[in-house]
Chains A and B, each alone.
Chain A
Amino acid sequence: MAAPPSAPRSPLASAPVEAPVEVEEPVGDVDPTTESPWIVLVWNDPINLMSYVTFVLQKLFGYSLEKATELMLDVHHKGKAVVSSGSKEKAELDVFRLHEHGLWATMQQD
């Protein structure tokens, strides 16, 4: 991801977003008697801004600023991160919402 333009590389400075529901782990709604869960991955790219990716993860999944930042840094440093898991239908919807926000996301069975 791209660092903030024309600015020193510094910790993210945006104010914490108080989401109505904060979760620390991906939410799963899988029926274990039917199929193994699907996971959703977000992949690194050199264009998306770190702050934007963090914001999108907070907005779409209700992650705290701290957790969303951690996931974003995983994407940035490791190339990818798991951002949600659940049924195939839920994963598909999450991938769609991420694509809608310009992030590159894929899904696969865990």
Chain B
Amino acid sequence: MGFFDGFGRLVRVDGDGAVELRLGAAERELLRSLLPQLRSLLVDEAGDAETGPTDPMLARLFPSAHPDDVDEDQAYRSLVHDDLLAVRLSNLDLVERTLDGPPLDAEQVGIWMRTVNELRLVLGTKLDVTDDEEPIDVDAGDQRAPLYAAYSWLGVLLEELVRAASSLPPEPTRHDD
């Protein structure tokens, strides 16, 4: 498949079109430690559902739809906040349940992708990632080093999940009309 050594190390599509996660023990433990933190962040949100969260990590997960119109944005946030929250929590539950296998179907791969992406958004915001071209290079002694390592690894996992999903037969696309 790809021309990078190591791609397909974490995620493989088997002969039946199911997606197998080949995570090491330490990698599973990393996810097991990150997922509850994301859940806490989501459920403990202190911001007003109408005006948007003040925490920058949450603000990234509940962004504005009308940046120049406060009234319209409040209406949008009131409309979608609970659904956005509920679907994210449901996705989190599924990822935790399927951490140790069995192989995932197409819908579950999509849920994994969105949840891993959310972990990246939260960690990247926390790390104040602003440069998308340079690889992150931080000293081992930097106390943020473990977070950077987790952020980088999540990027590899997400990249492989996207590759796997792209090689599956297409799901019916969710057109709304």
Binding site for B on A (CB under 8 A): 1-8, 10, 13-15, 17-21, 27, 29, 45-49, 51-52, 55, 59-62, 90, 92-97, 99-102, 104-108
Contacts and interface: CB of A to CB of B under 8 A. Distances in A.
B173 A90 contact: no
Contact of B162 (A45, A46, A55): A55
Given A52-B117, A102-B118, A27 B133 contact: no
- Grouping DSSP codes into helix (H, G, I), strand (E, B) and loop, the A interface class, with mixed when no group exceeds half, is loop
Given A14-B163, A51-B159, A102-B117, A2 B132 contact: yes
Contact of B170 (A17, A97, A105): A17
Contacts of B104: none
A50 B165 CA distance: 15
Contacts of B174: 59-60, 97
Contacts, number: 125
B97 interface: no
Contacts of B166: 14-15, 17, 55
22 contacts: A4-B4, A5-B152, A5-B159, A13-B2, A20-B170, A29-B177, A45-B132, A46-B124, A46-B132, A47-B121, A49-B159, A49-B162, A51-B159, A52-B117, A55-B165, A61-B175, A62-B173, A92-B76, A94-B176, A96-B84, A101-B117, A102-B117
B158 A106 contact: no
User: Which 7 pairs across A and B sit closest by C-beta, in order of nearness?
Assistant: A46-B132, A47-B124, A5-B155, A14-B166, A102-B117, A2-B132, A95-B65
B156 to A, nearest CB: 5
B61 interface: yes
Interface residues of B, number: 53
A100 B114 contact: yes
A39 to B, nearest CB: 12
Contact of A13 (B3, B114, B130, B152): B3
B113 interface: yes
Contact of B152 (A6, A92, A99): A6
A3 B124 CA distance: 14
A2 B136 CA distance: 11
A92 B131 contact: no
